[in-house]
Structure 1
Amino acid sequence: MTTHAPASLERLRFNMIEQQIRPWDVLDLDILDQLAVMRREDYVPEAHRALAFFDMEIPLDGSGVGSLPGQTMLSPRVEARTLQDLHVQKHESVLEIGTGSGFMAALLAYRAASVLSLEIDPTLAARAAQTLARNGVTNVEVRNADGATPLPSGPSFDVIVLSGSVARIPQNLLGSLKIGGRLAAIVGDEPMMRATFVTRVSESKWDTLQPWDTVAPRLLGFPETPRFNF
């Protein structure tokens, strides 16, 4: 049986799309339609559900025994713009680093053949897997794992998404892209980071674009930029 969100939630969802996402140059109608039907509020912790449609990162930590501090759900406009700029296709396989709430994995799964999502926090990994299953998302595998740990060698994925920021692109992940594959990450240090998209053009060549600026919390486990003391 299909359930419908109350009119007030639908108004908030409409406002999120029209006032936050579309003005951020997210103009792909398929993605806007997808965001209109996917229930973002179902992926937000109960304590913060009222914030589901606001232009902010939503805290995910403190929701269970053993959960790691500092975990957040990215803002809707960053999720949407990343999704648009990756151009995920129905036949493609996706690796996500940082499952978090599971919402970005659900967005990716809607457009891809399969998604493997790695989450370092076992509490979040278990909760995201349950949420995805409850919402009928069947082509995502959530795995409790450290995404900073080197993957088995060889090209395995068409798309790799880092759902958080890193100081620099992890070079080992580039080798896991198939030819024509794309990696998306938010790279740099506060107060300004760059959305970075790397395309594997050939066995030994990668093209890089940095089309927009934002700031996002760090993904756990990845190295920081060395600091020099004088």
Structure 2
Amino acid sequence: MDTSRAPEREHMVRTQIQARGVSNPRVLDAMRTVPRHLFVPQTCQREAYADYPLPIGSGQTISQPYIVAVMTELLSPNPSDLVLEIGTGSGYQAAILATCGADVVSIERIEEVAAQARQNLLNAGIKNVRIITSDGTVGYTDMSPYDGILITAGTPEIPCPLINELAPGGRLVAPVGDQNIQELIRITRLNNEFITEKFGAVRFVPLIGEYGWKEEGE
């Protein structure tokens, strides 16, 4: 793991994340550990630890550090949990989940974005992430059920295939709403009962796919 810029990560955690109420020790340690600057384009290096999202190309973004921390804390991955991530992006969120101890399957629909994420994870020394290029809204039954599912793009509703792939006791975290604003929700499966909690407004790029938004022109 790259140890450079550690003081910037410590400042990020202290002022952007802990100060806003994130307290899960594994999440805080992961945010301190993972070198976020390896997951942003060279043109954004000076802003790698800033308190806002950054473009990564292909119309995609790397989320604000605070939002990454909040979503990870809501998912609360335990060591050896199997987590499905929908929307790999730069690979940073997957790296945080993996550093918390989870085994991560991450689905990215854009091949060039997936390829860059694989390289970013390699550069960061993260090994327990498997990236698949596919439509994440249809899920990935080959390794289901999952202890956690994290959707990193705004969806009009939770895709049914993902609900079906959630293990008993599992958690699903996603931004749900229209293409301008969403609400961050967590669904917990208790046997055949699903408990929904809401955690406030967020804004993500749209989730494109069969059970998400349609691509422009379709």
Q: TM-score, normalised by structure 2?
A: 0.89
Asked if residue 180 in structure 1 is aligned to residue 169 in structure 2, the reply is: yes
| Contact 2:27–2:96 (Cα < 8 Å) also in 1 | no
**Which blocks of at least 5 consecutive residues in structure 2 are unaligned?**
none
Q: 1:103 offset after TM fit, Å?
A: 0.7
Aligned residues: 213
- Residue of structure 1 aligned with 2:86, choices 78, 97, 100: 97
Task: Tell me the C-alpha RMSD between the 2 structures.
Answer: 2.1
Asked if residue 206 in structure 1 is aligned to residue 200 in structure 2, the reply is: no
Matched with 2:182 is 193
Q: 1:3 offset after TM fit, Å?
A: 5.5
- Residue of structure 2 aligned with 1:60, choices 56, 59, 65: 56
**Structure 1 runs of 4+ off > 4 angstroms?**
none
Matched with 2:67 is 78
Matched with 2:40 is 44
**Which blocks of at least 5 consecutive residues in structure 1 are unaligned?**
62-68, 226-230
For 1:169 and 1:146, the matched residues in 2 are separated by 14
SS of the equivalent of 2:153 reads strand
| Contact 2:60–2:89 (Cα < 8 Å) also in 1 | yes
Q: Which moved more, 1:167-176 or 1:17-26?
A: 17-26
Asked if residue 152 in structure 1 is aligned to residue 148 in structure 2, the reply is: no
For 2:179 and 2:16, the matched residues in 1 are separated by 22
Amino acid at match of 2:69: A
| Contact 2:147–2:170 (Cα < 8 Å) also in 1 | yes
Q: 1:153 offset after TM fit, Å?
A: 8.7
Matched with 1:228 is none
Task: Give % identity.
Answer: 31
Q: 1:190 offset after TM fit, Å?
A: 5.7
| Contact 1:93–1:112 (Cα < 8 Å) also in 2 | no
For 1:125 and 1:80, the matched residues in 2 are separated by 22
Q: TM-score, normalised by structure 1?
A: 0.85
